[in-house]
Amino acid sequence: MPQLLHIAIIGGGAAGFFAAIEAKRNFPHADITIFEKNSKVLAKVEITGGGRCNLTNSFDEISDLKQAYPRGHKLMKRLFKRFDYQHAFDWFEENGVPLVTQEDQCVFPQTQDSHSIINCLVNTAKRLGVKIQCNHQLTAITELEDERLLLDFK
């Protein structure tokens, strides 16, 4: 009988939720928990774009990533080969959030409300069985002899 895979995601922001959701989709039998030090998850998502959540940009008018990322264009080029703005756009639309692209190429939820993104991430995570623990601040990580990690929270 295979050992149950336990995955701890440290941080209940957009990246943490996305990582937890995709990990659960790839390892459906894994026990996955998001640990957030604050009392509320996705707080930065709620305020980004003036509360509308500027999700990504279309990059339609950018022919060279140096234009948008002058110091990080090489890294972004490598990352975009795996998951780019179009993947992000498709991911949210496939998960029930219609998006719109403004004239300035900024992409927002059609509702113009960041709660559309928050609800999508939280509801998808919960539907998949991801656990969410708020008010859990990581204080230490200890590697055990069997290569497992022991996490301490306050």
CB atoms within 10 A of CB 43: 14
| Fold category of 1-47+114-154 in CATH | FAD/NAD(P)-binding domain (3.50.50)
What is the reported pLDDT for 147? 84
Residue pair 108/49 in contact by the 8 Å Cβ criterion = yes
Domain assignments of the chain as residue spans, ordered by start: 1-47+114-154, 54-112
Render each residue's pLDDT in the chain as its tens digit; 154 residues. Answer: 567 899 999 999 999 999 999 999 999 999 999 999 999 999 999 999 999 999 998 877 777 878 877 888 888 888 888 888 899 999 999 999 999 999 999 999 999 999 999 999 999 999 999 999 999 999 999 999 988 889 999 8
d(CA 121, CA 28): 17
